[in-house]
Chain A
Amino acid sequence: QSAPTQPASVSGSPGQSITISCTGTSSDVGGYNYVSWYQQHPGKAPKLMIYDVSNRPSGVSNRFSGSKAGNTASLTISGLQAEDEADYYCSSYTSSSTLVFGGGTKLTVL
């Protein structure tokens, strides 16, 4: 099972919006509405930001949103803030009854 593809890095200025993509196949991202997104700051455990493509857990800012079209899921962060600088990972359930993470994207707030 190959990992979904994420851009290695993205950047944006405070107040801007950025989008991180997560491209898989019809056997994972495209086949199920079970894509999640995690934020990880250096030295910390990941934090669940989006689940089941577009749902936010309680306590997560509404600046974070998720969507999916075909085999590509996306995480959009609006009103970028310095504290958003972190690594972001997507994950997806797969047809092999496993879970797979994307390779991760480093977000830099300029």
Chain B
Amino acid sequence: EVQLVESGGGLVQPGGSLRLSCVASGFTFSGCWMTWVRQAPGKGLEWVANIREDGSDKYYVDSVKGRFTISRDNAKNSVYLQMNSLRAEDTAVYYCTRAYSSWFARNFDYWGQGTLVTVSS
């Protein structure tokens, strides 16, 4: 059974940092693109970043470029999102997702339960 379990969310002050983790199981993690998608409270979905199977390519939405870094450790079946210089508008549930189609992770068949990040003073 495919499982994606996120952790690391919480309350952080504006300008602060947080590192999200996602541990995957039930599939060959090193063979899949992985993606972070977020959803602000009561709002729609927003694609945040993705990473190629071997970590060699990474892509980001403009609003997080230079502040967020996606990474992965295939030996630990884990993908991470390092979030720095956090802003109130980064407040959201962050989902870890697995790519369904192999190229660019353009769609997602498995989602984690989400971890809530709240940026507030």
Contact = CB atoms under 8 A, between A and B. Distances in A.
Interface residues of B, number: 23
Nearest to B112: A45
Contacts of A36: 106-107
B77 to A, nearest CB: 19
B47 A101 contact: yes
Centre residue among A1, A51, A103 by max chain B CB count within 10 A = A51
Interface stretch (A19-27, A76-84, A90-98): A90-98
Interface in B47-104: 47, 50, 59-62, 95, 100-101, 104
Contacts of B108: 46, 48
B30 interface: no
Nearest to B109: A48
Contacts, number: 62
Interface residues of A, number: 23
Given A57-B109, A89-B44, A99-B47, A48 B100 contact: yes
A102 interface: yes
Contacts of B50: 99
Given A36-B106, A98-B47, A45 B114 contact: yes
B7 interface: no
B11 interface: no
A57 B100 contact: yes
Contact of B107 (A1, A3, A51, A97): A51
Contacts of B47: 91, 98-101
Contact of B45 (A1, A97, A101): A101
A98 to B, nearest CB: 6
Nearest to A37: B107
A66 to B, nearest CB: 12
A93 B106 contact: yes
Contacts of B111: 45-46
A31 to B, nearest CB: 13
Given A45-B113, A98-B61, A104-B44, A34 B106 contact: yes
B104 A103 contact: no
Interface of B: 35, 44-47, 50, 59-62, 95, 100-101, 104-109, 111-114
